[in-house]
Amino acid sequence: MAEIRNGPEEPDRENRPEPTPSDDTGAARELVEPRSRAEYSADLERHVVLLSFEPRRAGLPDVSIKDATAYLDKHHTERPWLSVARDCPPEVQRVFAALDQGGGHAHIRHEGWVTEEMNECRVRNLEDPAQLDPAKRLAGVDGVKVSDQPHRCGGIVTRITDPEAFATAFARGIEHPDVRAALESLGPVPRPVSLPISDVLGDDGHKFCSGWRLEPVSGNMLEALANRAAWVAGNRDVPEPRTRPVETFEGGTVTYVFRASTGGCHEISTMYVDPPDEETT
Amino acid sequence: MKRRRDRERCQVNQAYWARNPQGPFATLIGVAATYCHPEAYDGAYEDLAVRARSAAPDDEEIRVFRAELQEALADPGQLPDNELFKAVQFSDGSNEAFLCRLWHDLYGNKP
């Protein structure tokens, strides 16, 4: 072995020039593929889900990718929740365009265009992010319901902060057997379906979620909601509602809520995420 | 193997009425969540009132719903821990207050 190593064909190791680290090498690799294999696989799967999304299967009007882009360009000014999707891949834009032409409000209240401040004001003071008239929003008028009805919400308000993740949750959710059964049913409006966030958005899906919750009153959420209703109605004998951010969505759920569709079956009225249960009642 | 486990896990609807289809008050909680939750569609509560008042003889869900609503009103303590409030997110302050309002709005008189 030593003979071979020291033979005439062996490269001169002693006088070999020191390899010079190239600044380009790492950068080039980063440009080519910065993701881990698992991340790449998850992204690929998400891409496939979005590409194979058929609006009609969700009770929504059929929208081509080309028409979706044109729809967003045309309507994003008066419908600001569409703006976030304009820089997204075309298949994401199609989900938003289809949703916006349906009767649901998931993309209007539970998506990334809603800021943290808007969400906090919603749960504390019942100010609806979907209400585009600032005076009406401050007065608690619902932005989606007809005839200036008061806005309502539960003790937690949430959103999926990334439009692509939001579109994926919708496109993947409508293929779940329980959601499919609900969408295709002809009878009364089906009950909501709640699926683990990790099943819909992957193990890191909770990182795309954000939200605020009411502080319990006397350790009680029942009382906190009643208290907020009284405060918003003008009763200043009750404590002012207080809020705090949701700590984590890990272990939480995505809920799909239904309504009758103009096509005769059902469509998704809204879709929202919830954190795992707290012990507070 | 992991993929199969993931698929199996994905079959699980986490809602109370799906986890406990035969559980106590599953129909009451499921129907109330569908029509009375703040995230329900515009007009849902009114639709429930119409459905409850003019229930078809074969509307088994509404028959059970009404029976469970009466039972819960008679003894709200029988309701499973926090499940009604978690599913409906009402602002009435107590299960009993919500159930009373619901009965009144749907059926008018006292049960």
pLDDT, tens only, B9-54:
455 788 999 999 999 999 999 999 999 999 999 999 999 999 999 9
Based on its alpha-carbon atoms, the radius of gyration of chain A, rounded to whole angstroms, reads 25
The band of A19, judged by pLDDT with boundaries at 50, 70 and 90, is: low
What percentage of chain A exceeds 90 in pLDDT?
79
Closest alpha carbon to A273 in A162, A176, A178: A162
Residue of chain B with shortest Cα separation from A279: B82
Distance from CA of B74 to the nearest CA of A (A): 20
User: Widest CA span of chain A, in angstroms?
Assistant: 96
Does residue B8 sit within a domain? no
Distance from CA of A189 to the nearest CA of B (A): 8
Q: Which pLDDT value is given to residue A35? A: 77
Does residue B2 sit within a domain? no
Does residue B57 sit within a domain? yes
Query: Into how many domains does chain B fold?
Result: 1
Does residue B4 sit within a domain? no
Does residue B5 sit within a domain? no
**Residues on chain A touching B60 (C-beta within 8 angstroms):** none
Beta strands across the sheet bearing A156-160:
A156-160, A209-214, A243-245
Place of tokens 């319901």: A145
Residues B46-100 have pLDDT tens digits of: 999 999 999 888 999 999 999 999 999 999 999 998 999 999 999 999 999 999 9
Within a 10 A sphere around the Cβ of A74, how many other Cβ atoms? 12
Partner-chain contact A152 B91, CB within 8 Å:
yes
Going from the C-alpha of B92 to that of each of A88, A108, B69, B97, B99, the distances in angstroms are 42, 27, 16, 6, 9
pLDDT at residue A34 above 90?
Answer: no
Residues A83-117 have pLDDT tens digits of: 999 999 999 999 999 999 999 999 999 999 999 99
* B54 contact A CB<8A: no
pLDDT at residue B3 above 50?
Answer: no
Cα–Cα distance between A20 and A248 in angstroms, integer?
A: 46
Domain range for B43 is 15-107
Interface pTM, i.e. ipTM: 0.90
What does pLDDT average to over chain A? Answer: 89
Cα–Cα distance between A97 and B5 in angstroms, integer?
A: 34
Cα–Cα distance between A210 and A116 in angstroms, integer?
A: 8
Q: Name the strand (E) or helix (H) holding A75.
A: helix A65-75
